[in-house]
């Protein structure tokens, strides 16, 4: 009997020893109540741990027992807490900013602890807003887009250009999200500044490759920008007065510890200085924007968020030309925690980009826009410490309005013209898994199914021999095809539809506690296209959906990387090699006319592109001196055969450089904290000049000198390089309620006149050919006063 009792007791003990419980909750900033994304939550002296998601949520599971829970986040004091895990429980954790790290600059990968080496996610950078605010910036205006261009694999088309290019891709191949809403144009003042107000932004995450299955729709990258939720503890005022703009942000609790709001506004006043010039007094150029957000914690399992963005740029050139463009977006989001293992996010959002153009000399107005409605439902299931499942669904309704042209006077020679509006629906269904196979081997795998339907409500032109573009063998040029009729589609009809499976896979193997190897593959389909034959985005560019004559772009990217940490994580090294190929990449025939064109298909040819390169990133993460050195060797090429149009294609069907090719890209950024009052920063940038096409000869025709051109993109602009410096002075005593700082900056300190373009013309007086080099900026000093209360 005693033996039987002992066996029952032993069996019960073994069962109890195997019983596991979960602990879940959110990690927040103790001073503001902001949730923290990427905080490490782990059990001391074990391999059990995780990181918080985009909304600060975590969940870990462990056997019944007593443990020490550790919460760590870069720039904050670690928290350790003893827990008794004898049941499922909720534990929300507040952590405080570390006083001895307030001045440090930090750039980090997804996590700030060693666990990041084990995660298979690669080609990802998370940029701290504090880093951006300490970098030297043109005209003293902090710029998120220009800051990410200091990372390996990220470039742009020079000063005054909009957007950014990732691993040899075009601007339209980047999915830019602001609180989950799509942003179509990221620039203010034609690229001099970005639309992101750093006072309203919480964190920024850039996926250059190995894109998770929850994202889709763009072939190159995802830039995920999250706004602050607003301070739930106290009212706060943040702002700055700069050389060309002023900004102000107000945040605070609606109900303390339960709900909060954020209102941030920004405006430029450079146009006021133009009034001082007799020649420029009739001109104007300025921008303004506003960020809004409110959140409501209904209970510990439900939270609502409402956010919006509204921005606009206005240009006026005397009485002859007026233009404006801008983004508008809104998002309603509901976070729900079903239990300690299942977290969900439902969001409904709207986004719009439009531009208006008025040319008084020709007496007409031009209005164009693209807008979309987006519904997303995403769930995360923390099955156990080794397996996390993400799955969800989303749908987007697009409206493309390529243009409405209206005469402004009765005597105008311009007739009213409304280009065909286009509508489309894009859907996605996905599932992704993070799976730790062994303590050293981890996988991330998933599958996304996307579909796209171009809807009716318009007529589709038909062409002779189904050729929108034809090759003229006599002249040796491509010409527009011959229309032979059209087919009208009702709004309820589907003109064209596409569907694609998009597998995603990544693996990480930890070589030791300080280094790991990673590899990844991702396939992404892109169904909308930016129709532009300029190297930089302009307000007049048109977005167009895939359809009868434009196929979706299909991207395959492969990556291999080595990651290592040195000296107690003070230094880190990241080396990545990548190869990317894209099907159905558009290029344009010589002399293409894209503005006011109802049949864009007659201006384009379809081909393929490829990009490959090697990226290096060395970072110093802690101490009085922090920063990084980035270098990228890369190639980006395109091939556009004649295809259905016949003929040899562009450049005789051979590979040629895309406008986004940069063979060498070297950048350094560093910040030195001298003491509590002074910090110094510098950027050093060098890039190979971008590919261009120069004339290589000329001939006479009816008394006119006509230039002949070399192969497309066979020449280059001169190399781009500059050095920026800044000094930050924090006057007065530290830790006061009012915290102010002066930022003194010099952009392009040695006054390098980097070429934005080189144009060729004939001097009418001498008859000689001349090359004219255009530069945007020389040396630009700036002063900004920032404050926080």
Q: Return the SS3 of 84.
A: strand
Residue 102 reports pLDDT greater than 50: no
363 backbone φψ class: left, alpha, beta (φ>0; ψ -120 to 50)? left
Pairing of strands 20-29, 93-95: parallel
Identify the residue with better confidence: 773 or 485: 485
The total of other beta-carbon atoms located within 10 Å of residue 269's CB is: 13
**Mean pLDDT, the chain, as a whole number?**
86
At residue 280, the pLDDT reads 60
pLDDT the model gives residue 175: 95
Pairwise CA distance, residues 671 & 656, whole Å: 39
* Ranges 6-15, 19-28, 67-76, 239-248: which has the least confidence: 6-15
Closest CA to 646 of 465, 485, 462, 463: 465
pLDDT at residue 11 above 60? Answer: no
Q: How confident is the model at residue 322 (pLDDT cuts 50, 70, 90)?
A: confident
Instruction: Check residue 552 and give its pLDDT.
Output: 97
Closest CA to 569 of 158, 40, 37, 166: 40
DSSP one-letter string for 436-493:
E-SSSEEEEEEEEEEEEEEE-SSEEEEEGGG-SEEEETTTTEEEEPPEEEEEE--TTS
Q: Are 535 and 659 in contact (CB under 8 A)?
A: yes
The mean pLDDT of 339-358, rounded to a whole number, is 92
Looking at the predicted structure, is the pLDDT value of residue 765 above 80? Answer: no
Encode pLDDT of 668-716 as tens digits.
Answer: 999 899 988 899 999 999 999 999 888 877 777 666 667 778 888 888 9
Tell me which of 109-113, 124-128, 475-479, 496-500 is least confident: 109-113
pLDDT above 70 (res 547): yes
137-164 residue pLDDT tens: 666 677 888 889 999 999 987 776 778 9
pLDDT for the residue 108: 41
Q: What is the pLDDT of residue 539?
A: 57
Mean pLDDT of 381-394: 93
pLDDT at 396: 97
742-239-34-37 Cα dihedral, nearest 10 degrees: -60
Indicate the pLDDT class of residue 61, thresholds 50, 70 and 90. confident
Residues 509-516: contacts with CB under 8 Å, at least 24 apart: 509/440, 509/441, 510/117, 510/118, 510/439, 510/440, 510/441, 513/114, 513/117, 514/114, 514/117, 514/564, 514/565, 514/566, 515/117, 515/562, 515/563, 515/564, 515/565, 516/117, 516/118, 516/562, 516/563, 516/564
Mean pLDDT computed over 635-658: 91
pLDDT (average), residues 619-624: 86
For residues 192 and 513, what is the distance between their CA atoms, to the nearest angstrom?
43
**Listed range (102-111, 290-299, 583-592) with the worst mean pLDDT:** 102-111
399-409 tens-digit pLDDT = 999 888 888 77
pLDDT score of 272: 67
State the pLDDT at residue 111.
Answer: 41
Q: Is the pLDDT of residue 131 over 80?
A: no
3-state secondary structure at position 86:
coil
Are 158 and 689 in contact, with CB atoms under 8 Å apart? Answer: no
pLDDT of residue 100: 45
Distances (CA, A) of 156 to 145, 455, 577, 656: 10, 34, 20, 19
Greater model confidence, 742 or 118: 742
For residue 81, the Cα-to-chain-centroid distance in whole angstroms is 37
What pLDDT does 703 receive?
65
Q: Which of 96-105, 205-214, 711-720, 734-743 has the lowest mean pLDDT?
A: 96-105
- Report CA-CA distances (Å) from 351 to 64, 372, 448, 482: 48, 5, 23, 37
Q: What is the pLDDT of residues 569-616, one digit of tens each?
A: 788 899 999 999 999 999 988 878 777 788 889 989 999 999 999 999
Provide the pLDDT for residue 597: 82
pLDDT value, residue 531: 85
Q: What is the pLDDT of residues 212-252, one digit of tens each?
A: 999 999 999 999 999 999 999 889 999 999 888 899 999 99
The phi and psi torsions of 312 (rounded to 5 degrees) equal: -155, 145
For residue 651, which phi and psi values (nearest 5 degrees)?
Answer: 55, 40
- Inform me whether the pLDDT recorded for 540 exceeds 70: no
Q: What CA–CA distance (Å, rounded) separates 220 from 192?
A: 23
Asked whether the predicted pLDDT for residue 114 surpasses 50, the reply is: no
Q: How wide is the angle at C-alpha 215 spanned by C-alphas 213 and 216, nearest 5°?
A: 100
pLDDT for residue 103 = 38
pLDDT of residue 267 exceeding 60, the answer is yes
Find out whether 370 and 543 touch, Cβ atoms under 8 Å: yes
């Amino acid at each position: 009997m005693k033996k039987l009792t002992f066996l029952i007791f032993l069996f019960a003990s073994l069962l109890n020893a195997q019983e596991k419980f979960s602990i879940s909750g959110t990690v927040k900033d103790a001073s503001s109540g902001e949730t923290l994304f990427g905080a490490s939550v782990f059990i001391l002296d074990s391999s059990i741990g995780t990181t918080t998601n985009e909304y600060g949520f975590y969940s870990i599971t462990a056997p019944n027992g007593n443990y020490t829970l550790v919460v760590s986040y870069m720039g904050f004091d670690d928290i350790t807490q003893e827990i008794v895990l004898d049941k499922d429980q909720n534990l929300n954790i507040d952590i405080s900013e570390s006083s001895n790290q307030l001045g440090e600059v930090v750039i980090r990968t997804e996590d700030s602890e060693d666990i990041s080496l084990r995660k298979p996610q690669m080609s990802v950078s998370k940029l701290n807003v504090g880093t951006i605010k300490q970098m030297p910036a043109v005209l003293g205006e902090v710029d998120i887009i220009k800051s990410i261009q200091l990372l390996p694999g990220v470039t742009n088309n020079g000063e005054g250009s909009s957007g950014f290019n990732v691993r040899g891709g075009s601007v339209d191949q980047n999915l830019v999200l602001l609180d989950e809403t799509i942003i179509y144009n990221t620039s203010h003042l034609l690229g001099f500044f970005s639309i992101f107000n750093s006072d309203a932004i919480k964190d920024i995450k850039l996926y250059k490759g190995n894109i998770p299955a929850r994202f889709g729709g763009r072939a190159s990258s995802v830039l995920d920008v999250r706004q602050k939720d607003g301070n739930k503890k106290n009212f706060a005022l943040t702002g700055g007065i700069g050389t060309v703009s002023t900004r102000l942000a107000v945040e605070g609790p609606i109900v303390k510890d339960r709900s909060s709001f954020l209102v941030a506004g920004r405006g430029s006043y450079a146009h006021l200085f133009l009034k001082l010039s007799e020649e420029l007094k009739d001109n104007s150029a300025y921008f303004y924007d506003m960020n809004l957000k409110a959140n409501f914690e209904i209970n510990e399992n439900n939270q609502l968020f409402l956010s919006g963005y509204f921005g606009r740029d206005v240009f006026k050139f005397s009485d002859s030309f007026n233009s404006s463009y801008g983004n508008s977006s809104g998002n309603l989001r509901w976070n729900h925690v079903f239990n300690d293992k299942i977290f969900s996010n439902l969001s409904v959002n709207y986004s719009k980009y439009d531009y208006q153009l008025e040319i008084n000399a020709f007496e007409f107005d031009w209005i164009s826009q693209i807008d979309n409605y987006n519904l997303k439902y995403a769930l995360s299931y923390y099955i156990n410490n080794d397996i996390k499942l993400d799955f969800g669904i989303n749908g987007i309704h697009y409206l493309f309005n390529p243009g409405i042209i209206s005469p402004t006077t009765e005597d105008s020679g311009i007739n009213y013209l409304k280009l065909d509006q286009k509508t489309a629906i894009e859907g996605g269904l996905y599932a992704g898994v993070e799976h730790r196979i062994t303590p050293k081997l981890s996988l991330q795998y998933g599958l996304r199914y996307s579909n796209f339907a171009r809807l009716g409500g318009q007529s589709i032109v038909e062409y002779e021999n189904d050729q929108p573009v034809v090759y003229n063998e006599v002249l040796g040029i491509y010409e527009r095809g011959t229309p032979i009729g059209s087919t009208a589609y009702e709004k309820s009809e589907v003109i064209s539809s596409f569907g694609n499976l998009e597998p995603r896979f990544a693996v990480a193997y930890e070589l030791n506690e300080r280094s790991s190897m990673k590899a990844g593959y991702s396939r992404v389909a892109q169904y909308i296209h930016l129709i532009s034959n300029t190297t930089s985005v302009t307000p007049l560019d048109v977005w167009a959906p895939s359809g009868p004559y434009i196929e979706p772009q299909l991207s395959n990217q492969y990556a291999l990387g080595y990651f290592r940490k040195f000296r107690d994580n003070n230094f880190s090294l990241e080396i990545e090699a990548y190869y990317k190929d894209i099907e159905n990449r558009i290029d344009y025939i010589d002399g293409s006319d894209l503005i006011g064109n109802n049949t864009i298909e007659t201006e384009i040819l379809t081909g393929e592109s490829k990009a490959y390169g090697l990226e290096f990133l060395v970072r110093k993460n802690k101490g009085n001196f922090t920063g990084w050195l980035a270098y990228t060797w890369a190639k980006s090429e395109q091939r556009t055969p004649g295809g259905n149009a016949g003929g040899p294609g562009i450049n005789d069907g051979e590979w040629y450089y895309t406008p986004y090719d940069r063979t060498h890209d070297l950048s350094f950024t560093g910040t030195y904290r001298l003491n509590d009052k002074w910090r110094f920063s510098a950027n050093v940038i060098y890039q190979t000049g971008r590919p261009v096409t120069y004339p290589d000869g000329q001939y006479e025709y009816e008394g006119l000198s006509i230039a002949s051109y070399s192969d497309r993109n066979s020449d280059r602009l001169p190399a781009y390089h500059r050095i920026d410096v800044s000094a930050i002075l924090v006057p007065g005593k530290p830790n006061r309620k009012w915290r102010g700082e002066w930022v003194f900056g010099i952009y392009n300190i040695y006054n390098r006149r980097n070429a934005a373009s080189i144009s060729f013309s004939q001097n009418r007086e001498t008859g000689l050919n001349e090359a004219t080099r255009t530069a945007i900026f020389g040396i630009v000093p700036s002063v900004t006063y920032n404050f926080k209360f």
